[in-house]
Amino acid sequence: MHTAYRPIHNAAMGVIPPLPSGETNEALIEMAIAASACTACGLAERRRNVAFGEGNSRSPLVLVGEGPGDTEDALGRPFVGKAGQLLERALGEAGLSRNDVYIANTVKCRACDWVNGRPINRPPTDIETMACRRWLEPQLAAIDPRVILCIGAPSARNLIKRDFKITVERGKFFSSNLAKTVLATLHPAYILRNQHGGSDGGYSLLVADIVKAWEAAIRLRDGRTRQESTVPTESQPSLFEV
Ligand code: SF4
């Protein structure tokens, strides 16, 4: 399915956050416009665009990564660089497209340090991540997904639990106050780094986890719950308690 992007002009900032054309979730549109002018943390100083999120805002499945990189910062869209292209391929192999799910990040602006006049990516700090929850929580509430799939360990440590171990806990369902259930999978950037010597780097696991998350989301959306997706593996604290 093709999605065109329409510009929305923000008089205060002159920023043009890209929103999917045909977006009908007014709460999300208003949030994206407000977020485009956000200066709640230091990442606002050097960002080019806020990558708020995009996709099907009525989807039962939301994918949440850590934060935008260089390409995402340039385009104001999440997961559109090399890692995003791999994620798109994995979605395709799972029988989905970007427009079947909603894609976002825990932090909406690129985290980077400037070294010798050049931006070098770094993980968002706890302070920056906490600051951006002002957008993440209402964003998820407006979408009201059945399932959240955390893309990568940092997102899982933010949304599931601080000591989340991606190698042993990926693909498992956890309870959440943000959706009916939440699970995590490998980050496509990690997979790309590990694709050598004939190894798929964990790509097949990414596809399997997307299939698993989508099937759970559809079951829950249709009211057909089962023990695996309704009984938490571990009780989780509220985001504000993490
Ligand atoms: S990272 Fe989030 S809280 Fe910080 S300036 Fe960007 S939108 Fe605002």
Question: What are 3-21's pLDDT values in tens digits?
Answer: 333 334 443 444 444 555 5
Distance of CA 36 from the midpoint of ligand 1 (Å) = 9
Smallest CA separation from ligand 1 atom 1, residue: 109
Q: Is the CB of 109 under 6 A from ligand 1?
A: yes
Distance of CA 105 from the midpoint of ligand 1 (Å) = 11
Q: Is the CB of 132 under 6 A from ligand 1?
A: yes
Distance of CA 242 from the midpoint of ligand 1 (Å) = 18
Lowest mean pLDDT among 20-24, 102-106, 121-125, 210-214: 20-24
Spatial CA neighbour of 130 closest among 150, 98, 107? 107
Q: Is the CB of 135 under 6 A from ligand 1?
A: yes
62 — pLDDT class (breaks 50, 70, 90): very high
Q: Is the CB of 131 under 6 A from ligand 1?
A: yes
Q: Which atom of ligand 1 is nearest to the CA of 107?
A: 1
Secondary structure class of 192 (helix, strand, coil) = helix
Smallest CA separation from ligand 1 atom 3, residue: 132
Distance of CA 61 from the midpoint of ligand 1 (Å) = 23
Give the strand pairing for 5-6 and 19-20: antiparallel
Ligand 1 pocket: which of 10, 13, 36, 38 to mutate (most atoms <8 Å of CB)? 38
- Specify the pLDDT at position 224: 57
Q: Are 5 and 18 in contact (CB under 8 A)?
A: yes
Average predicted confidence (pLDDT) for the chain: 87
Strand partners, 182: 148, 174
Indicate if the pLDDT at residue 71 is higher than 90. yes
Total number of residues shown for the chain: 242
Q: Which domains does the chain have, with CATH numbers?
A: 14-241 (3.40.470.10)
pTM of the model: 0.86
Q: Is the CB of 43 under 6 A from ligand 1?
A: yes
Spatial CA neighbour of 227 closest among 179, 180, 170, 184? 180
- Specify the pLDDT at position 231: 39
Paired tokens of 187:
């980050």
Q: Is the CB of 217 under 6 A from ligand 1?
A: no
Q: Are 21 and 38 in contact (CB under 8 A)?
A: no
Paired tokens of 60:
């039962």
Distance of CA 38 from the midpoint of ligand 1 (Å) = 6
Higher pLDDT, 108 or 17: 108
Please report, rounded to a whole number, the percentage of residues in the chain having pLDDT higher than 90: 78
Distance of CA 97 from the midpoint of ligand 1 (Å) = 27
Provide mean pLDDT across the span 65-94: 97
